[in-house]
């Protein structure tokens, strides 16, 4: 290894150690906040926790923007989208193609003042992972167990908690359910063909309807003032370069995000078939954007 390579490795190692140590310290303070202030004033707890969440996620954003020099251009479908994004409670349907998606979605949230109050649906197992998983837990993310009898209750309770936040929140949902791979893509499209769904995507997996449908129905019934956003994240570089390891190495990535606001009142929820067709059509629009 060259002298420059050794120096770069030392810098990366030091930065990684600093991020790890500082994030653990923030998690400890979050725990104290959770065990004390939450029982006295839950709104104050949420406000304080949003600052701690911001601290942890901003370090990841710094890796993207400062260390690797990555950029992302944001495009809005219309004026109502530009005016509303980041200023209201919203359910954001995002594609999930790359392992760096979360980092760039946090970057978008930071630009519009919602990094500390951004949320997502996540696997229950993640809540036990130090730093990121613990931050998810303290931030009241919605954890799913892949058991619908439990998940339906978790989603309803989680949505009620999130909508009770005083700050505008961005609740991210990856309706595809998992990250894109060639094998998953083939399985997904075969399922769509076998079921006669009449859809064939080029860059997406078939979205899963149940969780999306339940969330939209719950929001329409109890929180009609909330909004739905369709978010499409894409990169100029080939897929092989869009990796977390390359971000850490300082490889720049140039992406773009297209965002469209959709009033909840326009989403059909009268039947499973109608909302399924709506979601499939929404992903067809994402394909056209690409």
CATH number of the structural domain spanning residue 68? 3.40.1130
Is 2's pLDDT higher than 60?
Answer: no
Is 5's pLDDT higher than 60?
Answer: no
- What is the mean pLDDT of the segment spanning 92-98? 93
- What is the mean pLDDT of the segment spanning 168-189? 93
Is 248's pLDDT higher than 90?
Answer: no
The mean-pLDDT minimum among 18-32, 131-145, 155-169, 190-204 falls in 190-204
Which domain covers residue 45, as residue numbers? Answer: 3-289
- What is the mean pLDDT of the segment spanning 85-108? 94
Q: Return the higher-pLDDT residue of 5 and 54.
A: 54
At 3 the pLDDT is 44
φ/ψ of residue 256, rounded to 5: -140, 150
At 262 the pLDDT is 97
Is 240's pLDDT higher than 60?
Answer: no
At 287 the pLDDT is 74
Q: Percent of the chain scored above 90 by pLDDT?
A: 75
Q: Is-contact 129 56, C-beta < 8 A?
A: no
> How confident is residue 290, by pLDDT bands cut at 50, 70 and 90?
low
At 241 the pLDDT is 81
Among 127, 129, 126, 123, smallest CA distance to 145 is for: 123
For 112, residues 6+ apart whose C-beta sits below 8 A from its C-beta are 85, 86, 87
Per the structure, the count of domains in the chain is 1
At 237 the pLDDT is 58
At 129 the pLDDT is 95
- What is the mean pLDDT of the segment spanning 36-64? 96
Q: Percent of the chain scored above 70 by pLDDT?
A: 95
SS3 per residue for the chain: CCHHHHHHHHHHHHHHHHHHHHHHHHHHHHHHHHHCHHHHCHHHHHHHHHHHHHHHHHHHHHHHHHHCCCEEEEEECCHHHHHHCCCCCEEEEECCCCCCHHHHHHHHHHHCCCCCCEEEEEEHHHHHCCCHHHHHHHCCCEEECCCHHHHHHHHHHHHHHHHCCCCCCEEEECCCCCCCCHHHHHHHHHHHHHCCCCCCCCCCCCCCHHHHHHHHHHHHHHCCCCEEEEEEEEECCCHHHCCHHHHHHCCCCEEEEEEEEEEHHHCCCCCHHHHHHHHHHHHHHHHHHC
Look over the chain and give the mean of its residue pLDDT values, rounded to a whole number. 91
At 6 the pLDDT is 46
> How confident is residue 8, by pLDDT bands cut at 50, 70 and 90?
low
Overall pTM surpassing 0.85 (yes/no): yes
Is 7's pLDDT higher than 50?
Answer: no
């Amino acid at each position: 290894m060259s002298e420059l390579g050794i120096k770069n490795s030392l810098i990366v190692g030091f930065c990684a150690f600093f991020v790890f140590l500082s994030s653990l310290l923030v998690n400890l303070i979050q725990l104290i906040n959770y065990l004390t202030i939450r029982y006295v004033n839950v709104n104050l707890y949420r406000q304080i926790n949003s600052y701690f969440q911001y601290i942890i996620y901003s370090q990841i954003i710094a890796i993207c923007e400062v260390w690797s020099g990555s950029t992302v251009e944001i495009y809005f479908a219309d004026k109502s989208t530009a005016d509303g994004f980041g200023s209201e409670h919203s359910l954001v349907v995002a594609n999930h193609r790359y392992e760096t998606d979360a980092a760039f979605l946090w970057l978008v949230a930071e630009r519009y003042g919602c990094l500390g109050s951004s949320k997502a649906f996540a696997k229950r197992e993640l809540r036990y992972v130090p730093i990121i998983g613990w931050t998810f837990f303290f931030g009241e993310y919605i954890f799913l167990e892949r058991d619908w009898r439990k998940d339906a209750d978790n989603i309803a309770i989680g949505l009620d908690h999130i909508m009770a936040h005083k700050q505008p929140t961005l609740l991210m949902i990856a309706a595809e359910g998992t990250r894109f791979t060639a094998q998953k893509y083939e399985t997904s499209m075969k399922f769509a063909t076998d079921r006669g769904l009449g859809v064939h995507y080029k860059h997406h997996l078939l979205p899963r309807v149940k969780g999306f449908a339940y969330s939209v129905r719950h929001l329409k019934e109890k929180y009609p003032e909330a909004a739905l956003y369709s978010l499409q994240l894409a990169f100029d570089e080939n897929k092989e370069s869009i990796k977390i390891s390359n971000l850490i190495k300082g490889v720049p990535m140039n992406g773009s995000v297209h965002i469209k606001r959709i009033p909840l009142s326009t989403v059909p929820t009268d039947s499973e078939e109608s909302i399924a067709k709506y979601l499939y059509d929404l992903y067809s629009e994402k394909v056209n954007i690409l």
